[in-house]
Amino acid sequence: QVQLVESGGGLAQAGGSLRLSCAASGSIFRINDMGWYRQAPGKQRELVAVITSGGNIRSADSVKGRFTITRDYAKNTIYLQMNSLKPEDTAVYYCNADVWYSGSYGYRATWGQGTQVTVSS
């Protein structure tokens, strides 16, 4: 069993900042990509930013220059520093990781429970 536990969501004013964390724990052999997705009410889940095992980053155009994803490989943890927040950033933010579970074969997409981010204007 592998768990992704997110923290750091909450309420911020437009122009403010929040920092999200996601820690993976459990029977982990290896983790490939880790990233953040978000889903606003009535919309599909969308990619925010992903960081690969090699440190390559891809992110949505809407957050470039404002959000920064980082990863602590030793702790199996990623962070999302969100600056210059806008009301349209309001969503539930989900952590995702491609995890190779110990004792199994191959990577599985694993999701956290989500954390709410609300940005007021």
Whole-number average pLDDT of the chain:
97
First to last CA, the chain: 40
CB within 8 Å of 87: residues ≥ 6 apart: 14, 119, 120, 121
**DSSP reduced 3-state for 46:** strand
Q: Is 22 exposed, middle or buried (0-12, 13-18, 19+ CB in 10 A)?
A: buried
Query: Distance between CA atoms of 112 and 121, rounded to whole angstroms?
Result: 28
CB 79 within 8 A of CB 70: yes
Give the per-residue pLDDT at 39: 98
Residue appearing with tokens 């933010």: 93
> Torsions phi, psi of 60, nearest 5?
-70, 145
Length of the chain: 121
Residue appearing with tokens 């969308």: 46
Region 35-54: mean pLDDT is 97
Q: What is the pLDDT of residues 78-117, one digit of tens each?
A: 999 999 999 999 999 999 999 999 998 899 999 999 999 9
